[in-house]
Amino acid sequence: MSLEELINKCKKGDRKAQERLYRQYADILFGICLKYSRNKSEAEDSLHDSFMTIFEKIGQYKSKGSFEGWIKRITVNTVLQKYRKEEYLKVVTENTEEEVEVETGYMDLDLQTLLGYIQELPNKYRLTFNLYVLDGYSHKEISTMLGTSPGTSKSNLARARMILKEKIESRKAKAIIGILIMALGKDPCNPHGVHNRKDMNIAEHKAK
């Protein structure tokens, strides 16, 4: 049975066709779920929800573009939707068909902040990061989509991660300084509370 025939039967609600489609794509989509989930149990739940959505919306698929790409996008959106509700995006690494390295600095970073940092990346870095880390495409696939080479894709991903890491570390440093100021009730860089020359003159006058 061709993929087109399989899809058409699924559109008609054929249970056997749905089971066959599930067996054909379950491993690929489960790999995507693992990249975004905190554990395998959550990934399994996300896989189930993704296929429910796929079978619900399969009538909308018009055979334009890759069917696999279409169901991958549905899977990514399904998984991310769960974390949008929690306002956190946690990423774990598992040994899938192609192992994806994820910087531990992304752990427990609130979703809106992380997405904000990603949006600030230059186009070539942002696109590569999203396609590889968020959508699960390989460097070979990305190089075809963006008209580059696998080596360039790897380089762009490394640069994107470096920029994000710097932003996250800077954010953490500012947070630590803020905590110190709150804890001490003073600016640790200015323990005497003298902020300008005028304040210094007033302080000296009072001392006299």
Check whether residue 96 and residue 28 sit in a common domain: yes
pLDDT score recorded for residue 93: 33
Residue 105 lies inside a defined structural domain of this protein: no
Residue 188 lies inside a defined structural domain of this protein: yes
Cα 49 from Cα 32, distance rounded (Å): 13
Last residue of a domain, which of 42, 67, 100? 100
pLDDT digits over 148-206, tens only?
889 999 999 999 999 988 888 887 666 666 666 666 665 545 555 545 555 545 445 54
Check whether residue 82 and residue 132 sit in a common domain: no
Check whether residue 19 and residue 74 sit in a common domain: yes
Last residue of a domain, which of 70, 100, 130? 100
pLDDT score recorded for residue 92: 34
Q: What is the mean pLDDT of the chain?
A: 75
CATH of the domain at 73: 1.10.1740.10
Check whether residue 16 and residue 68 sit in a common domain: yes
Q: What's the domain count of the chain? A: 2
Tokens of residue 78, six digits: 């399904």
Residue 152 main-chain phi, psi, to 5 deg:
-65, -40
Domain with 145, as residue range(s), is 110-208
Cα 32 from Cα 75, distance rounded (Å): 7
Three-class secondary structure of residue 68 per DSSP: helix
Q: Which residue has the tokens 């870095």?
A: 125
Residue 23 main-chain phi, psi, to 5 deg:
-60, -35
Across the range 47-66, mean pLDDT stands at 92
Last residue of a domain, which of 100, 135, 163? 100
Residue 88, strand partner residues: 110
